[in-house]
Chains A and B, each alone.
Chain A
Amino acid sequence: MARKMLKDEEVEVAVTDGGSYDYDLFVIGAGSGGVRGSRTSASFGAKVAICELPFHPISSDWQGGHGGTCVIRGCVPKKILVYGSSFRGEFEDAKNFGWEINGDINFNWKRLLENKTQEIVRLNGVYQRILGNSGVTMIEGAGSLVDAHTVEVTKPDGSKQRYTAKHILIATGSRAQRVNIPGKELAITSDEALSLEELPKRAVILGGGYIAVEFASIWKGMGAHVDLFYRKELPLRGFDDEMRTVVASNLEGRGIRLHPGTNLSELSKTADGIKVVTDKGEEIIADVVLFATGRTPNSQRLNLEAAGVEVDNIGAIKVDDYSRTSVPNIWAVGDVTNRINLTPVALMEATCFSKTVFGGQPTKPDYRDVPCAVFSIPPLSVVGLSEQQALEEAKSDVLVYTSSFNPMKNSISKRQEKTVMKLVVDSETDKVLGASMCGPDAPEIIQGMAVALKCGATKATFDSTVGIHPSAAEEFVTMRTLTRRVSPSSKPKTNL
C-alpha cells in the first residue's frame, strides 16, 4: 500500500511495500551513483536490490566491482599514483631546505601497484558492507531491461534471473573509448594504465582532457619520457583559457613534450617498442601508448529499447530535470546520462532521485557552481564560470582579477613554477562568478571557494575577509588590483 503520493509538476512520488513487484527499486550498477541511490532509497523505507559485475581492476563487459569507476579504476587509484609521483619533485626541492640525500633514490613501481590494488580491494569490500548494512540486496551479474518493470541479470556462470521492480535506476557509468586508427589494439586506456605490470620508460599519450594531463604528470614524475598529443592549441578544452595556458606551461616546465594540433594516425609493433606515426608524419617509439580521448556511456548492453528508454546520439540516456527517463518509472544518474561526469555530481543526482521518488521531496540536482580539479602536478582547480563562460552569460562588464606569484616554498627550492589564481566578477552586482587556481593544494583551497560562491559571495566579501598568513590561499582575499575589465561585446573568439 502506498505510504505517500504527491505531485510536483510532473513528478509522482511513491513508496510502496512492493505490491506485485519483487522490489520498490532495482538499481543497475553499484558505482558512486548506484550505491548512493540504493542506500538513500533504503533509508526512506524502500525495498531495494542492486546488481553489479564481479570485481576486477580493469573493466570489461563482464567485470566491474562495487564502487565503480571512481573507486576501482578512476579517481581513487589515480590520486594514489599522483601522490606517488609527486615525491620526485619533493626530493628535488628538499636539497635547498637542507636535506642531503646520499645515494640513489629508486622508485619501486611494483610496490606502489601492489599497495594501490590492496586499497581498491579494501574499498570494494567497504562498499559491499555499506550496502549490506543499509539492507540492500546485492546481486552479482550484468543487468538489462526486459520491460519497464523487469530486469534480467546474467550471472557470472551464464544463468539468468529476472526481478521485477516498481522503479528502476540505471547507474552504469561510462567507459574509456578507443580511437579508430590502424594498430589501435596496441594502445591502452586509463583502466590498464592504472594496473600496468611495468612502468613505461617512454610514454605517448593521446588526448587533451584531464585524464591525459594527469597521466602525463604521473608518468613524468615516475621518471618516464612523456609525449602528449592533442588536437587543440592548448590542453583542457572547456576550462578557462588563461588557466589552460598555465597548465601547459607547467607540463612543459616539468619536461613533458607537448604536441598541440597533432593527432596519431597509426601504431605498429617493432622490436624496440610501439612505433607511433602522427598526422604530421613524425615517428616516435614508445613502450606504452595511452588513449585518453574521452569516455562513452555504458548503455549498449542494457536492452533499453525493450522498455522504450531513449538515448542521444552518443548513447547517453536522456533524462529530465529529476533524472527521469522517457519511461516514467525508469530513472538514470551519473556518467550514463552524460551531464556533468564527476563522482560528486553522480552522488548529488542519486540523492535527489531518492528524495524525489521515495522521500516525498521532489528535488532537482543543482549544477551551478560545481567545483572540479585536474590532478596534474601541480593541480588545477576551478569553480563557477571561466572568463569565457562569464562573457557568454554576462549582461554587464566582467571584471578579472589575477595573481601570479612564486609560492613561498619555491623561493627556497628555486623551482621555477608560478602559482596562478583568478577571480571573475560581475561588474554590476559585484558577485564572484568564478574562481580558479593552478598550484599546490589548489583543490583543497577551491573547495572552500565553492562554498563562498554557492553562498553568493561578492568581491567585497572576499576583500573584507582576513587572510591566513603565510599561505597561498590568502591571495584570494587580497586581490585588490583589477587586471582587466572585459565587455561582453569585445568577447574574444578563441579556438584554443
Chain B
Amino acid sequence: MAALLGRRFGMAAAALIALAALGSAASGTASKSSFVKSTVKAHDVVIFSKSYCPYCRRAKAVFKELELKKEPYVVELDQREDGWEIQDALSDMVGRRTVPQVFVHGKHLGGSDDTVEAYESGKLAKLLNIDVKEDL
C-alpha cells in the first residue's frame, strides 16, 4: 500500500501514511486496553472468553457453582469484530494470550486452572465475600 502511494505521491507522503497507519494500530491497542480496564472496573467478575472454548466453559461453571447474585460479565471475544485487538491488549496487560482471563473486583485472577484452584481452596469465595457453609 505505502509502496503504491509512494509511486504516485512521492516517498514523503508514503512515509506519512505508513506512520499514520502505525499510529492508528497503536491507538487501536490503547483504546482496547482502556476498554479492558473500564470493563474490569465496572463489574465484580469479568470473564474474557471464547464461546467454543472448553477451558472458558470450565471457568464459567465455577461461578455457576457459587450461585452469585449477579452473574459474571462475559466478553466473548470470538463474537466481536474487535476480539483479536482486545486479546492483544489483554496479553499486554496480563502477560498471557490464552482464554479465559478472569478478573474479580478489578484484580486479575488468572486463567481456567487458576479459577478452579481459587474455587477449590476457598480463596474465590473470600474474594467475593461469600459465606461457604461447611458440610458437617
Contacts and interface: CB of A to CB of B under 8 A. Distances in A.
Contacts of A444: none
Interface stretch (B12-20, B30-38, B50-58, B127-135): B50-58
Interface in A255-311: 255, 257, 260-261, 271-272
Contact of A260 (B52, B55, B96): B52
A496 B57 CA distance: 14
Contacts of B53: 245, 248-249
Contacts of B4: 271
Interface in B78-135: 78, 84, 95-99, 113
Contact of A245 (B1, B54, B84): B54
A249 B96 contact: no
A155 interface: no
A12 interface: no
A260 B99 CA distance: 14
Contacts of B54: 234, 241-242, 245, 496
A448 interface: no
Interface of B: 1, 4, 52-55, 78, 84, 95-99, 113
A253 B1 contact: no
Contacts of A272: 1
Contacts of A404: 113
A22 interface: no
A416 interface: yes
B51 to A, nearest CB: 9
B97 A254 contact: yes
A30 to B, nearest CB: 44
Interface of A: 233-234, 241-242, 245, 248-249, 252-255, 257, 260-261, 271-272, 404, 416, 418, 496
Nearest to B54: A245
Nearest to A285: B1
B95 A416 contact: yes
A416 B84 contact: no
A253 B113 contact: no
B52 A249 contact: no
B52 A233 contact: yes
Contacts of B97: 252-255
Nearest to B111: A416
A416 B4 CA distance: 41
Contact of A257 (B52, B55, B84, B95): B84
Contacts of B95: 416
Contacts of A271: 1, 4
Nearest to A494: B54
B52 A261 contact: yes
15 contacts: A234-B52, A234-B54, A245-B53, A249-B55, A249-B99, A252-B99, A253-B96, A253-B97, A253-B98, A255-B97, A260-B52, A260-B78, A271-B1, A271-B4, A416-B96
B41 to A, nearest CB: 24
A241 B1 CA distance: 42
Contacts of A257: 84
A245 B113 contact: no
Contacts of B52: 233-234, 260-261
